[in-house]
Amino acid sequence: MNKKQGLGMAAVLLTGSMLAGCGTSSAQSTVSSHSGAPVEASPVRGGTLNVGIDSDFVTLNPAMSSALIDRQAFINIFDPLLKLSPTMQVEPNLVTHWTVTNGGTTYTLFLRHGVKFQDGTPFNAQAVIYNWDWEMNPANASPRLSDLSLVTHLAAPNPYEIVVTLKAPYSAFLSVLTGRTGMISSPTAMKKWGSAYGLHPVGTGPFKFVQWIKNDHMILERNPLYWKKNQPYLNKIVYTPITNPVQEYNALVTGQVNVIDSVPYQDVNSLASNTSLRYAENPGLGYADMELNTQASPLNNVHNREAIDYAINRQALNQLLYFGHAVPAYTQFSPASWAYDPHIKVPYSDALARQQLAKAGNPKGFSFTLLGENDPATVQEMEAIQSELAKVGITMHIEPVDFTTLLTDAINGNYQADLLGWSGRPDPDQNSYAFDTTGGSFNDPRYSNSQVDSLLLKAREAASESVRKQYYDEAATIVLHQAPYIFLEYTPVIQAWSPSVHGFQVYPDGLMRFSKTWIK
């Protein structure tokens, strides 16, 4: 589902691009914005913030969620154990400090004192362990299980200390705690509501859940028990799902909402000259890519895959589909990640593509079918790729399907190629290990390379960022040239808001954090 939402975000932004001509390009990895006066006045308490989101929530239970859109609500209802800075650095939050011992296999987490869930239940080590035990129970089929798969033992020496023992060193563990696995629910509420807990979430975050009318709105209210005494400033947040991207933007223009989670690419340039709206454009963590099934003919031939890699003009796709706001992608690490390396790339070259086709024994090309979601934006993207490949003789058939079918076929290997995306995570391990290693849970292409397996394992177990970066560079270079994925574009996060909204900041993960936001 994260893939869906990742691509969904791209799709949302792309849809509008069909309705207008090309715009100018923006700087690739720089931040663009005019977010109002740099000096904010004192926060004002009160008011309702109306927020437009590009789809409705699926569930409000972090233990059962796999949709990116759910995280927009979670980040305000549930305070994660650790938080991310605007530059995606892990910072203390409900875990105030931690130690890593025994060669990276033991994490001791020290919890903040005096924190309560919104229902008054105390937040402590027992609550965290209750949540994680629930998620690690296979019978509950929690999508969080894979995040905790290395955990062998959990202990609470005292109410504010948790000792987590892992099977093997896992350098991304702290980063995992900034996401849904680190979002702890009230055990009281979990027991009370059982399977209906997803309709009655209770966390420790700045806002508490009030009402969710599906496809209409969701209301959050200020949490009076929030541990940061002066926050949040807003009294209420109302989320409205608006699935049509043009309509979502219109809702901001007409003042029906104060903030939107994405802006159609073709409207970004006009936003820059619009003084009645504010916006910011940041490099995101996600990307759009094709997955090539390495176990199915003809893409089980590495030269056929490489030919595709060389034949796609990513700059042209960026201009055509993203109005120059994306960044051509060659690896799983976006410009927002410390693992990003702009030097790892392949040239756009028809000649090199033809060379690879000759090596594959298909000098005149070959044909295959690309599955993609049946929304106009994705179909447009597939058509653009189709015309790129046709230039070197590769015939690509397009098969639009609904997302569940796409996901089912991708996971079951019932495809030749598909167009998916990934919303991205802060730690490079979360964007590569499960995708590239043999038998990895996100490895839809069924790719297997012992060298990549070894490099990514070393990167996962190494403590130093610089050492990890070397491993990631090496692995990314191999993956790029073996092409189980054709990375297309890194998609930026572009969000806009009305001038009455203050204290709002755009993060590379696209999540809208409202604890410091106020309205005037």
Partner 1 sequence: MVTFIVRRILSLLPVAFIVLVVTFSLIHLTPGNPAYTILGDQASPQAVHLLDVKMGLTRPLPQQFAAYIGQVARGNLGVSLLDGQSVLSLIITRLPVTLELAVLAVIVSLLIAIPTGIFAAYRPNTWVDNLSRLLALVGAAIPNFWLALLLVYIFAVGLHWLPSLGWVPLTQSVPGNLVHLVLPVIVLALPLAAVTSRVLRGELIEVMHLLYIQVARAKGISEWAVVMHHGVRNALVPVVTVVGLQVGALLGGVVITETIFSLPGMGQLVVNAIFDRDYPVLDGSVLFMAFVVLLANLCVDLVYAWLDPRIRYN
Read off the amino acid at residue 489. E
**Using CA atoms, how far apart are residues 429 and 392, in angstroms rounded to an integer?**
35
Q: Which is nearer to partner 1, 374 or 470 (CB)?
A: 374
The answer to whether residues 241 and 54 touch, using CB atoms and an 8 Å cutoff, is yes
C-alpha gyration radius of the chain: 23
Task: Give me the least distance between CB of 209 and partner 1, in Å please.
Answer: 13
Strands 417-422 and 236-241: unpaired
Return the beta strands (E) in 167-241 as ranges. Answer: 207-213, 217-222, 236-241
Kindly report the number of other CB atoms within 10 A of residue 443's CB atom.
20
Given 33, 48, 96, 146, the residue binding partner 1 (CB under 8 A):
146
- From the list 94-102, 133-141, 223-231, 474-482, the region that binds partner 1 by CB under 8 A is 133-141
DSSP reduced 3-state for 233: coil
Task: Give me the least distance between CB of 238 and partner 1, in Å please.
Answer: 10
Binding mask 251-270 for partner 1 (x = CB under 8 A): x-xx-x--------------
Q: Which is nearer to partner 1, 116 or 217 (CB)?
A: 217
Kindly report the number of other CB atoms within 10 A of residue 90's CB atom.
19
Residue 64 engages partner 1 in binding (rule: CB under 8 A) = yes
Residue 250 engages partner 1 in binding (rule: CB under 8 A) = yes
- From the list 118-126, 337-345, 406-414, 499-507, the region that binds partner 1 by CB under 8 A is 406-414
**Using CA atoms, how far apart are residues 402 and 421, in angstroms rounded to an integer?**
15
Binding mask 384-403 for partner 1 (x = CB under 8 A): -----------------xxx
Residue keyed to tokens 């209301």: 219
Task: Give me the least distance between CB of 136 and partner 1, in Å please.
Answer: 13
Buried b / exposed e over 30-53, threshold 16 CB at 10 Å, is: ebbbebeeeeeeebeeebebbbbb
Given 100, 242, 263, 483, the residue binding partner 1 (CB under 8 A):
242
Residue 247 engages partner 1 in binding (rule: CB under 8 A) = yes
- From the list 24-32, 39-47, 78-86, 239-247, the region that binds partner 1 by CB under 8 A is 239-247
Given 96, 274, 355, 405, the residue binding partner 1 (CB under 8 A):
405
Residue 199 engages partner 1 in binding (rule: CB under 8 A) = yes
CA angle 284, 178, 216 (to 5 degrees): 70
Given 287, 366, 442, 497, the residue binding partner 1 (CB under 8 A):
442
Residue 58 engages partner 1 in binding (rule: CB under 8 A) = yes
Tokens representing residue 397 in the block: 């058939």
**Using CA atoms, how far apart are residues 478 and 483, in angstroms rounded to an integer?**
8
Residue 210 engages partner 1 in binding (rule: CB under 8 A) = no
Task: Give me the least distance between CB of 167 and partner 1, in Å please.
Answer: 18
Residue 12 engages partner 1 in binding (rule: CB under 8 A) = no
Residue 1 engages partner 1 in binding (rule: CB under 8 A) = yes
Given 25, 66, 106, 454, the residue binding partner 1 (CB under 8 A):
66
Q: Which of 224, 251, 486 is nearest to 346 (CA)?
A: 486
Q: Which is nearer to partner 1, 353 or 410 (CB)?
A: 410
Given 21, 139, 273, 276, the residue binding partner 1 (CB under 8 A):
139
CA angle 133, 135, 139 (to 5 degrees): 100
Strands 417-422 and 367-373: parallel
Given 21, 38, 138, 224, the residue binding partner 1 (CB under 8 A):
138
Q: Which is nearer to partner 1, 409 or 489 (CB)?
A: 409
Residue 404 engages partner 1 in binding (rule: CB under 8 A) = yes
Kindly report the number of other CB atoms within 10 A of residue 447's CB atom.
23
Q: Which is nearer to partner 1, 246 or 302 (CB)?
A: 246
Strand partners, 107: 100, 164
Residue count at the site for partner 1 (CB under 8 A)?
A: 50
DSSP reduced 3-state for 309: helix
Return the beta strands (E) in 293-332 as ranges. Answer: 327-328
**Using CA atoms, how far apart are residues 486 and 84, in angstroms rounded to an integer?**
29
DSSP reduced 3-state for 252: helix
Given 240, 282, 293, 380, the residue binding partner 1 (CB under 8 A):
240
Given 42, 195, 273, 450, the residue binding partner 1 (CB under 8 A):
195
DSSP reduced 3-state for 372: strand
Task: Give me the least distance between CB of 9 and partner 1, in Å please.
Answer: 15
- From the list 2-10, 110-118, 155-163, 170-178, the region that binds partner 1 by CB under 8 A is 2-10
Residue 21 engages partner 1 in binding (rule: CB under 8 A) = no
**Using CA atoms, how far apart are residues 456 and 475, in angstroms rounded to an integer?**
7
- From the list 60-68, 113-121, 328-336, 383-391, the region that binds partner 1 by CB under 8 A is 60-68
Given 59, 188, 454, 470, the residue binding partner 1 (CB under 8 A):
59
Strand partners, 48: 236
Where does residue 254 rank: exposed (0-12), middle (13-18), buried (19+ CB within 10 A)?
exposed
- From the list 1-9, 24-32, 87-95, 162-170, the region that binds partner 1 by CB under 8 A is 1-9
Residue 198 engages partner 1 in binding (rule: CB under 8 A) = yes
**Using CA atoms, how far apart are residues 367 and 271, in angstroms rounded to an integer?**
42
The answer to whether residues 227 and 103 touch, using CB atoms and an 8 Å cutoff, is no
Binding interface with partner 1 (CB under 8 A): 1-4, 56, 58-59, 64, 66-67, 138-139, 141, 143, 145-146, 195-196, 198-199, 213-216, 240-244, 246-247, 250-251, 253-254, 256, 401-405, 407-412, 420, 441-442
